[in-house]
Structure 1
Amino acid sequence: MDLSFLPDLQSMGIEWATVAMFGSLLLLLLTGMPLAFVTLLVALIFALGWFGPMAVPLIASRIFSFVNSFVFVSVPMFVLMAAILDRSGIARDLFDAMKVLAGRIRGGVAIQTLLVAVILAAMSGIIGGEVILLGLLALPQMLRLGYDRRLAIGVCCAGGALGTMVPPSIVLIIYGLTANVSIGQLFTAAFIPGFMLACFYGAYILFRAYTDHDAAPIAKPEEMSRREKLRLLKGLFLPVLVVIFVLGSIYGGIASVTEASAIGVLGVMLSTVIRGEFSVGLMLGAARQTLATVGMIVWIGIGASALVGVFNLMGGIQFVSGLIQGISDNPIVVVLFMMAILFVLGMFLDWVGIALLCMPIFVPIIKNMGMDPVWFGVVFAMNMQVSFLSPPFGPAAFYLKSVVPDDISLGEIFRSLVPFIGLQILALGILIAFPGITGR
């Protein structure tokens, strides 16, 4: 194979090669090319330019090790759970059932929305469908009742993004695969921080509701018979049962994450059968949605795995690790620098790409400094919470924009998210300052 057209990249040295590699990534991403293809193309060019044709099998083996992981099977399972939830009436009945629990307090509909968001997050760990569901179910009701628009928008967006933190989070699964740490331990460590963040949101909602009565009025109480309350509360039974079986089997050591994901899919499918909603059309639609979502994750994973593999063979990971560790002798300063890098990347890149590109560099540094990679995984997931809401490309805002009225602009959605981003940063700071919150 004639490769004379490629420059001799080895002559550049690892320092300039690193600059050239990430500069190429940035330039190609600015053209609008998908991240998966950008990383694959850059990996191929640098592999051939640095090592020659013999490097291609090394790239293939790296890719195979990524897609061959048994735990990765849990990703399409949890995505399928979310897709079935999107198409069934489970979320709608869950929202209606919460009226009984949160309907008579000031800001009750916002609290109701937050509780639904937590349960949905604990069922599937996918944010896109949750944000859209809350935008369709809860936002119109809050706006009709006279809620402050920004508070209502922020609750739907931030609540829907809780799937990043609350187990079984797909973010934690991808981190566990990349960092080679126990996903079960990650789920256990993320449990309290995830609910801590949800409590921060709840406290903010109540603060706004009771300091500004116009921001979150009390909904006109509905007269309900005991029979009607029991009927509504039945909507809680199946979702909570699925959560108990999925998370209980993981925390109880009964099933692995992969096995628990299969239990979750079976539980959601049985729920649709019991509710009389199961149909071939529903399953085909859910399967297509799952294929599209997982296909995106797999292709990004393939490209990022190839790029990191080539960069590692070039000696780039050791070079960048040395640079980062040379910033300070204080491990907390190094962690804060990493968080700043992730925060900036989160404004422009998908979280899957960030995890697969950065964690092979960051996690060895964390281990070398004597810090817990499981704790760092929870910190990473909390950082990605911020990226889901942050402009200019916060995906949660775009998901919500797809279902809101035309008079709600994308700019207004991002402005509505500012207090919630502040709460996320506060939770991130607490996690870094008090790692014991994760139980590690």
Structure 2
Amino acid sequence: MNAVLDLAAIGIGPATLMMFGLLVALLLTGLPLALVTLLVALSFALLGYGAMAVPLIASRIYTFVDSFVFVSVPMFVLMAALLDRSGIARDLFDAMKLVGRRIRGGVAVQTIFVAVILAAMSGIIGGEIVLLGLIALPQMLRQGYDRKLAIGVVCAGGALGSMVPPSIVLIIYGLTANVSIGDLFTAAFLPGFMLAGLYIAYVLIRSYTSDHIAPMPDLTPIPATEKRRLLKGLALPLLVVFVVLGSIYGGIASVTEASAVGVAGVLASTVLRGEFSFAMLRDSAMQTLATVGMIVWIGIGATALVGVYNLMGGIHFVSSLIIGISDNPTVIVLIMMLILFVLGAFLDWVGIALLTMPIFVPIIKTLGLDPVWFGVVFCMNMQISFLTPPFGPAAFYLKSVTPPEISLGEIFTALLPFIGLQIIALGLLIAFPWIAVY
């Protein structure tokens, strides 16, 4: 098949507008992102270069799916699916009463603590938000917490799974940018806890400065036998976190090996708790298949699109445009953050990572900046995209388990202060890179 379009004659600028326009038009029809990117890639490849361009696309796709590290993605998703179907999260939440019951806003604070521990076990956000929406949100509403604060804590806290290692966002970035995922996990450790700390500080300030925000603390002593029972709920989750992250940071296991050990740990926990069944394992496997299938197909489409655009000379074109904006590296990084922020309002994070990082990461290296630091900055930016309308997947996850009287609009309104905190955290990361590359 011969080429129909002379892309060289058209020029890379107009060709870029044509590709972007077709991409937006197809997305507006409601077609999935994976199908849209693949259709656009194949259209430009066949029309512009003929059938000989197809093997080039196939080789890029094979490189993406052939990575050994990519095996860790279904492992971490399976961990989250198993947690969804066990009572581990509920017992963990009950155990954290020992931390939060003596302070005002304690249930909200313990919700954030639980969110961090769950994030360190699985690395994805959907299951965490649903779990916290079923466990923590009803309890806060029943105790008289301000409804918007309770909604915001559950949604923003549950989204920490994308920031706290082992984050799947960081894994996909590492694969795309060819950066050590172990280094990314180490770099994201402090920023993830910094963001959680900002959430906790906000909750405490609101609770102690406004009478109607949170109820007074419960000072009733807990019997020793009850304390021991609650502490048992902490043992297994913390052990799994220690084994997974400890083996990675200690250099004992790779990310892929640690993810498999984590799945074994969660499975062993369900067996010890008497919750394991083959039905639970089958349902968890099916949920994992659906989630990972979505990630893989988006990856295939985005990788193909970037490959064709690179063949057109587009990556060099966009890089020249961005670098030409300013001589100040900080200004260029801020422009990138603005682009990511706009894309985050409409696209899934997997597509954003695979579409933009092949362009952005070489620019970051050209500017002499650390791609590991930029990976954490990208991850923090995606935190904002999880909460911002109209896409805001975190809000939709929570809406699926909230009472009917809580509207999607109220959820997005409740998230505004937490989006502000995320923007502050992003600004701190850009202004003080040592927070990530300490």
**TM score, norm. by length of structure 1:** 0.98
Of residues 19, 23, 26, the one that matches 1:25 is 23
* 1:438 matched to 2:432: no
Secondary structure in 2 matching 1:33 = coil
Among residues 127, 137, 140, which one is paired with 2:138 in the alignment? 140
Shift in CA distance, 115/367, structure 1 to aligned 2, threshold 3 Å:
same
Match of 1:306 in 2: 304
Kindly indicate whether residue 254 of structure 2 is the aligned counterpart of residue 256 of structure 1: yes
1:338 aligns with 2:348: no
Partner of 2:264: 266
Structure 2 residue aligned with 1:396? 394
Q: CA deviation at 1:48?
A: 1.2
Map of 1:39 onto structure 2: 37
> Is residue 113 of structure 2 the alignment partner of residue 131 of structure 1?
no
- Structure 1: give runs of 5+ residues left out of the alignment: none
Task: Give, in whole Å, the separation in 2 of the partners of 1:36 and 1:86.
Answer: 27
The corresponding residue for 2:406 is 408
1:328 aligns with 2:326: yes
SS at match of 1:104: coil
Q: CA deviation at 1:213?
A: 2.2
Matched, 1:385 2:397: no
Q: How far is the alpha carbon of 1:313 from its aligned partner?
A: 1.1
Q: CA deviation at 1:223?
A: 4.6
Do the aligned partners of 1:186 and 1:377 also contact (CA within 8 Å) in 2? yes
1:164-313 alignment runs, 5 A limit: 164-313=162-311
Shift of 1:73: 0.2
What's the offset of the Cα at 1:335? 0.1
Match of 2:147 in 1: 149
In the alignment, residue 149 of structure 2 is paired with which amino acid?
L
Q: Say whether the 8 Å CA contact 2:7–2:312 is kept in structure 1.
A: no
CA distance in 2 between partners of 1:165 and 1:339 (Å): 16
**How far off its partner does 1:222 sit?**
4.8
Partner of 1:315: 313
Residue aligned with 2:216, SS = coil
CA deviations over 1:218-258 (Å, ceiling 9, x no partner)? 25445531011110110000000000000000001111000
SS at match of 1:138: helix
User: What is the CA–CA distance in structure 2 between the aligned matches of 1:225 and 1:431, rounded to whole Å?
Assistant: 44
In 2: Cα distance, 1:363 partner to 1:74 partner:
23
> How far apart are the structure 2 equivalents of 1:143 and 1:319?
53
Number of matched pairs: 438
Post-superposition shift, 1:7? 3.7
- The answer to whether the 8 Å contact 1:10/1:50 transfers is no
Once the two structures are TM-superposed, the CA of residue 319 in structure 1 deviates from its matched residue by 0.4
Residue by residue over 1:171-201, the C-alpha shift from the partner in whole angstroms, topping out at 9 and shown as x without a partner, is 0000000000000000000000000000000
Identity value in percent: 75
Question: Deviation of residue 11 (structure 1)?
Answer: 2.4
Report the 3-state secondary structure (helix = DSSP H, G, I; strand = E; otherwise coil) of the residue aligned with 2:45: helix
Q: Counterpart amino acid of 1:167?
A: P
Q: Provide the rounded CA distance (Å) in 2 between the counterparts of 1:301 and 1:249.
A: 28
What's the CA shift for 1:264? 0.5
Which amino acid counterpart does residue 276 of structure 2 have in structure 1?
Answer: F
Find the aligned partners of 1:435 and 1:407 in 2 and give their Cα distance: 43
- How far is 1:23 from its partner? 1.1
In 2, Cα distance between the equivalents of 1:53 and 1:140?
Answer: 57
TM-score normalised by structure 2 residue count: 0.99
- SS at 1:336's partner residue? helix
CA contact 1:342–1:383 (8 Å) conserved in 2: yes
Give the distance between the partners of 2:31 and 2:219, measured in 1 at CA: 52
In 2, the alpha carbon distance for the partners of 1:216 and 1:11 equals: 65
For 2:374, the equivalent position in structure 1 comes to 376
Partners in 2 of 1:333 and 1:194 — Cα distance? 24
| Residue aligning to 2:420 | 422
Counterpart-to-counterpart distance in 1, 2:222 and 2:101:
11
Is the CA contact (8 Å cut-off) linking 2:136 and 2:154 kept in structure 1?
A: yes
3-state SS of paired residue (2:346): coil
Give the Cα separation in 1 of the matches to 2:401 and 2:424: 29
Structure 2 CA distance for aligned equivalents of residues 171 and 395 of structure 1? 14
Query: Within 5 A, what are the aligned runs for 1:87-126?
Result: 87-126=85-124
Instruction: Please tell me whether the aligned partners of residues 104 and 216 of structure 2 are also in contact (alpha carbons under 8 angstroms).
Output: yes
CA drift at 1:149: 0.4
Residue 152 of structure 2 contacts residue 418 of structure 2 at CA under 8 Å; is this kept in 1? yes
- Kindly state the Cα deviation for residue 214 of structure 1 after the two structures are TM-superposed: 1.4
Task: Give the Cα separation in 1 of the matches to 2:48 and 2:432.
Answer: 44
C-alpha deviation, 1:22, in angstroms: 1.0
The whole-number CA distance in structure 2 between the counterparts of 1:9 and 1:226 is: 75
1:309: how far off? Answer: 0.6
Q: Per-residue CA shift, 1:297-323, capped at 9, x if unaligned?
A: 000000000000111111100000000
Once the two structures are superposed, what CA deviation does each residue of 1:85-143 show, in whole Å capped at 9, x if it has no partner? Answer: 00000000000001112112100000010100000000001100000001000000000
Q: How many Å apart are 1:374 and its aligned residue?
A: 0.2
Question: How far apart, in 1, do the equivalents of 2:428 and 2:25 lie?
Answer: 36
> What RMSD over aligned residues (CA atoms) do the two structures have, in Å?
1.0
